[in-house]
A and B are shown apart, each in its own frame.
Chain A
């Protein structure tokens, strides 16, 4: 096929292509709504949700992952355009991770080493570790599907950021149900759950976000 011919064919194809921002919103937000609904119906919210939200330490269970999801989501947005990089948006993400790490270290330093494992494992660490990636699956799929219309010049990084967004959002949603309020518990297992989803996202990106 000559380039001339290709141009003629492309000019004939004027099917409108919605902007990538619209697409991400259209795929990601409904999937989040769906998953919130599913968690509330299947797992049920914790009975003392209103009280939990006002306790500073417990509120961090929601705020940290939500902030992470927000900044990672903005970075995904940026990266979907070929001429843009995540740039400065990486810093707030790094800052949140650093804060979490420092908090984890400080909590551990305050208690004897023999208490670490009993506190961290709580009642439901296995369930938590399965639930977060499971909740993240649908939003992640929606994000990756939308990003396929995007043009990230770093597919794997974009995938990882998408995973981080979906994973962090899933952690905040799971927190609606989870009653384990020890920082050691949620920093460990939420963090690990989010990390798992980030890795899945990176692999999905390598596989599906090339163009």
Chain B
């Protein structure tokens, strides 16, 4: 009987290793994203970049499915707002809780917000956003004007640090050398720049 059960429900291969670490255990129960975000919050930059890269197309798929009638570049703006919110609010995700409901709740809030800003009421049941196809970023050679405008509204220093991190892919250490700042100061400034950017974009859409 016991053997039969074991055959039916074989133990996961990495059972012991997983059991040793509760967070990993959770992430395997949930989905690989949770594992990536856990690692990211423990300071793993590569895991975080991978997490964002994997989440972005799914978010885009949701926005595209729900935001029919909004033009593409504006849809991409909403995608970016959601990603920014995920980034800045990641402290509200409890690592022992499933990740997807948290993720979808953020996406939903931002999409509803975007619709409200456009004067449309939207009814968006949370179950609806769970089964959409991921979508790649469309080739869009024109950066959206609004996004540019908001970066220009940042103070020059923040804008410079954000541009260096985003467009040139510089690490905080490199930026620090160029701008004669300590690496820590660059980190803080970059974080503030992203927070400010999110606030400006939110205010614009309200």
Contacts and interface: CB of A to CB of B under 8 A. Distances in A.
Interface of A: 1-20, 23, 80-83, 149-151, 153, 210-211
A3 B190 contact: no
A153 B89 CA distance: 12
Contacts of B109: 82, 151, 153
Given A2-B137, A211-B198, A12 B89 contact: no
Interface in B69-106: 76, 79-80, 83-85, 87-94, 97, 101-102, 104-106
Contacts of B79: 3
B80 to A, nearest CB: 6
Contacts of A8: 49, 165-166, 169
Interface string B142-179: 01000110010000000000100111011110000000
A14 B48 contact: yes
A146 to B, nearest CB: 11
**Residues of B contacting A: mostly:** helix
Given A9-B166, A13-B87, A80 B92 contact: yes
A11 B190 CA distance: 11
Contacts of A80: 92
- Shortest 4 CB-CB distances between A and B: which pairs? A17-B91, A9-B166, A82-B105, A11-B49
Given A3-B79, A153-B105, A10 B87 contact: yes
A5 B167 contact: yes
Contacts of B165: 8-9, 12-13
B206 A9 contact: no
Interface residues of B, number: 54
B19 to A, nearest CB: 24
B198 to A, nearest CB: 7
Nearest to B161: A9
Nearest to A7: B52
Contacts of B167: 1, 5
B191 interface: yes
B135 to A, nearest CB: 11
B80 A17 contact: no
Given A1-B80, A11-B48, A16-B41, A6 B85 contact: no
B56 interface: yes
15 contacts: A1-B143, A1-B147, A1-B166, A9-B166, A13-B191, A17-B41, A17-B88, A81-B92, A82-B102, A149-B92, A151-B85, A151-B92, A151-B109, A211-B85, A211-B89
Interface string B103-130: 0111011000000000000000000000
A83 B102 contact: yes
A26 to B, nearest CB: 12
A6 B83 contact: yes
A15 B52 CA distance: 16
B45 A14 contact: yes
A20 B166 CA distance: 27
B92 A82 contact: yes
B53 interface: yes
B176 to A, nearest CB: 12
B80 A10 contact: no
Given A8-B165, A14-B45, A210 B137 contact: no
